[in-house]
Structure 1
Amino acid sequence: MNIRPLSRKDEVKAKEIWKICFGDSDAFIDEYFNRIVRYEDTLGCYDGRELIADLFMLDFQASISGIDFKTEFLAGCATLPKARKRGLMRDLVKSAMLGMRKSGLAVTYLHPFLHAFYRQFGYETVAYVKRESMRPNSGHMEKEPAIFSTYDKIPEENMRRAYHRYIAAYDHSFIRSKERFSKWLQLLFADRGYAIVNEDEEPVSYALYYMEENTADVFELVAEGKKARELLLGSIPAERINYFLPSPPDEAAEEFTMMRVLEPVCLLKKMPLKAEHFILEIKDDFLEEHYNLRVEKVEGETNLVEETVEKADLSLTIGELAQAAAGAYAQGSKFDACFPGKTACFFETY
């Protein structure tokens, strides 16, 4: 077995693996490989010359408490059925992490098929959602929101402004460049999705969704407040509309986005802190690292973080550090004394 980046000659096989593992349409897969995939940011596992597993690293920009982090989002992590349960994805993810860390990234993200699977690699859940459902309520507006099924006439810039206005209310989210927003919409329409946009109410609101028989499954909802949400969703021509809303990590919430810390020192230097100073022990079993750090808050500047032999005030796994830094914990947890809680909102899943 050997691991290396994919090349163009691997594209047919990589598309075949994607189709087998995820079942997406050929149109979506073609669009994804044409617009999203950068072959220098891929990894494949080969049995001889045969590609049997792969993953993709996508350029993203995360914001945590107003601090921007360049990051990579893992997507399309897939293994052919005949090659599963051999630890291939473990090896691929580890190689990806080491490469990202070498390039100076402090954190990485993904949306998993199974949270428990990626938890073993040091990922932890940092964003939660609650699923909701409603029936349409047509005829409630003088002018119905516009529905788009192609890219050519969509009010993209108004939507992008609405997106950034919406996520500004949260402490932890992804920042989308104009290019990233365009690619996101083009993927939607390549996969026969829809966008509904209400430009007649301020602020602008929109939803991205797919139709399954007579049900609309909304995977991105940018609408501020219950009234705006119901006006928008109620105009979707479906018998039932399913959607989700960002949620605190309470008992009724569903796990969503996961984050992995690659460089604890780099992260802690930038993060807002609650305690003035503390000693932090961090265990990273997956990458076989151990840290014992003195952390001192410096207002308006980079925090002081240095190695120490002092006894730790707080001991965390690398996954728990992601939760703590992202503020994704219930009130009264062991993180509360050192790290401020935060709100999070993510939509991207690939």
Structure 2
Amino acid sequence: MNIRYAKDNEINSIKEIWSYCFNDGPRFMDYYFNNKYSRGNTVVVDEQQEIVSSLQLNQYQIMLNNKVYDTSYVVGVSTFPQVRGRGYMKNIMKFTLSELYSKGQLVSILMPIDYRLYRKYGYEHCYDQIEYNIDIEDLKRFSVSGKMHKVDESHIKDMIDINDYFLSDINGNTVRDESYYKVLFEEIKSEDGHIYIHEDNGYEGYIIYFLNNDTMFVREIFYKNIDSLKTMLKFIYNHNTQCRKVTISAPINDKLRFILDNPKTCEIKIKPFMMGRIINIKGYLESLELASDINLSCNIFIEDEFIEENNGVFKIEIENGKVSVEKVDEKYHLFFNINTITQLCFSYIDINEAIVINNMNKDYRDSEIIKIFEKIFTKKNNYINEYV
């Protein structure tokens, strides 16, 4: 078994694995391999000169705790059935994590088919979305203000403006620029989707959706004000001769549920969406910028079975808002595995939730050590909406 990066002449083999393992049509595969695929970001398992397993590391930037981080989004983890059960996934993930650390990346993200497959490698649940399932007739009362336009590239700057406004109080989202939206347009087109933008006093919102038999799926509905949201809900209702129901995905702090006529007739649920992982705990903690009046110190033990540099006792010192981290051979105050420290670093949980999850002694809750962690990690509303 040889684990390495893909070669130029192996794209057809990688397409073959992808096609076998995922239920994607030819148009989406053409989009993906023309716009997202890079052999330099593709890890393969070569067995006797045959590619039998692969994954891709798609590159994004995410805004995490007010700082931008380059990150690898692990996608397309796939193995042919004749070699499953031989430990290939464990070895390809171990190789990948080592590579990400060597490249200087501090965090990684992954959308799991099954959380159990990836928790063992240190990835942990860090993102949720709200999913609304609504009878389209429940949107009848909303009224339209302004106009809806089918989107083209001339609207990209306005979409960026809407995106930045709508997600201004969100953590962990991807940085979206002009090139991002151009690629997104191709992705939506490859899946027969639609994008419309709302104009009233300027451009105030946009919607991305798909028509699937009698159900509309709304992937994004971003807006600057409630009037724009109401207009786009009426726009959805205007499809009532085509669709009976609409499914809408939205950030956890979305306001849609507050303006529904009768929320009890809708199904509203939290949908787990994305996992994260800390790749370099020392590098990540030292990248943080804290309030300048904080001067604290503690030792924590972190258990990471796949990245040795993250495994051990770390002395964390905060002086004048700057964090320094050193691996030491000393006693420790707190123990966390890489999964829990990842959730803290992504601001998905706070230190008190971490104590409950890890069944720690209640005496910790009033200690000075907890106060240190309360200064470093603040729980936030996380949102990300990338599929590949």
In the other structure, the counterpart of 1:242 is 247
Correspondences of 1:122-133 after superposition (within 5 Å):
122-133=122-133
- What is the match of residue 317 of structure 1? 337
Unaligned runs of 5+ in 2: 254-268, 356-369
Letter in 1 for 2:386: E
Counterpart Cα distance in 1 of 2:165 and 2:129: 19
For the 8 Å contact 1:125–1:257, the answer to whether it is kept is yes
Following TM superposition, by how much is the alpha carbon of 1:121 offset from its aligned partner in structure 2, in angstroms?
0.6
Pick from 370, 374, 378: which aligns with 1:340?
Answer: 378
Which structure dedicates a bigger proportion of its chain to helix? 2
- Matches of 1:313 and 1:273, distance apart in 2: 21
Q: CA deviation at 1:299?
A: 4.3
- The whole-number CA distance in structure 1 between the counterparts of 2:53 and 2:233 is 39
Matched letter for residue 195 of structure 2 = A
Q: Is the deviation greater in 112-121 or in 8-17?
A: 8-17
TM-score normalized with structure 1 length? 0.89
Contact 2:6–2:39 (Cα < 8 Å) also in 1: yes
C-alpha change, 1:82 and 1:153, in structure 2 (3 Å) is same
**Which segments of structure 1 move beyond 3 Å, counting only runs of 4 or more?**
136-139, 224-230, 272-276, 334-337
Give the counterpart of 2:297 among 277, 280, 283: 277
Query: How has the CA–CA distance of structure 1 residues 81 and 220 changed in structure 2, closer, same or farther, with 3 Å as cutoff?
Result: farther
Whose radius of gyration is greater, 1 or 2? 2
Which whole-Å CA distance do the structure 2 matches of 1:147 and 1:130 have between them? 26
SS in 2 for 1:188: helix
Unaligned 5+ segments in structure 1 are: none
What does 1:35-184 correspond to in 2, within 5 Å?
A: 35-134=35-134, 135=136, 137=139, 140-141=143-144, 143-147=146-150, 152=152, 155-184=155-184
Letter in 2 for 1:278: C
Summarize deviations over 1:77-134 as a string: whole Å, max 9, x none.
1112332222222221221111111111111111111122111110011111221122
Task: Report what 1:267 is aligned to.
Answer: 284
Moved more, 225-234 or 285-294: 225-234
One-letter amino acid of the structure 1 residue matched with residue 279 of structure 2: L
Is the alpha carbon distance of 1:141 and 1:320 closer, same or farther for their aligned partners in structure 2, counting shifts above 3 Å? same
Show the counterpart of 2:31. Answer: 31
What is the match of residue 286 of structure 1?
A: 306
Amino acid at match of 1:241: V
Calculate the TM-score normalised by the size of structure 2. Answer: 0.81
CA distance in 1, matches of 2:154, 2:217: 20
2:84 & 2:224 partners in 1: Cα distance?
Answer: 43
| 2:97 and 2:306 in contact (8 A); partners too | no
AA at the equivalent of 1:191: E
Q: Distance in 2 between matches of 1:224 and 1:323?
A: 30
Distance 2:200 2:80 in 1: 48
SS at match of 1:328: coil
Contact 2:344 / 2:350 at 8 angstroms: preserved in 1? no
**CA RMSD, 1 decimal:** 2.4
Identical positions, percent: 21
